[in-house]
Amino acid sequence: MKLFNSLRVFLVAAALLLAPAVLQPAAADQLDDLRAQGQIGERFDGYAEARDGASEAARGLVKKVNAQRREIYEKQAKKQNISVDQVGRVYAERIIGKLPGGAWIRTETGWRQK
């Protein structure tokens, strides 16, 4: 059973590497800028989160980004016959891995900087 679950996670990771970009370039740049300002962080479950004191623009972008991510996660989960949560967590590893130092990350126990 453990080997089967590991294989599923591997297949999800492989599929995500081939998945199209989540955001248009302008939105990705805006997300990067807001991350650098500390207004937006990335969560352990594959979603972005507006941090305390974030602007309304940052909060709106988080909603847009998360809606797009949720759509991708749901499609991948259906293809792989696994939970959306599993897909989100694999995707989170990929997103967090690409973040620059100093970016905010919400773990299951709280916020920390990379």
d(CA 79, CA 73): 10
Report which of residues 12 and 25 the model is more confident about. 25
Higher pLDDT, 3 or 96: 96
3-state secondary structure of 99: coil
What is the tens place of the pLDDT at every residue in 13-65?
Answer: 555 554 444 556 667 889 999 999 999 999 999 999 999 999 999 999 999 99
Which helix (H) or strand (E) is 54 found in, with range? none
- pLDDT for 28 equals 82
Q: Which residues of 71-90 are buried (b: 16+ CB within 10 A; e: fewer)?
A: ebbeebbeebebebebbbbb
Hey, where are the domains in the chain? 2-113
What's the chain's average pLDDT?
Answer: 86
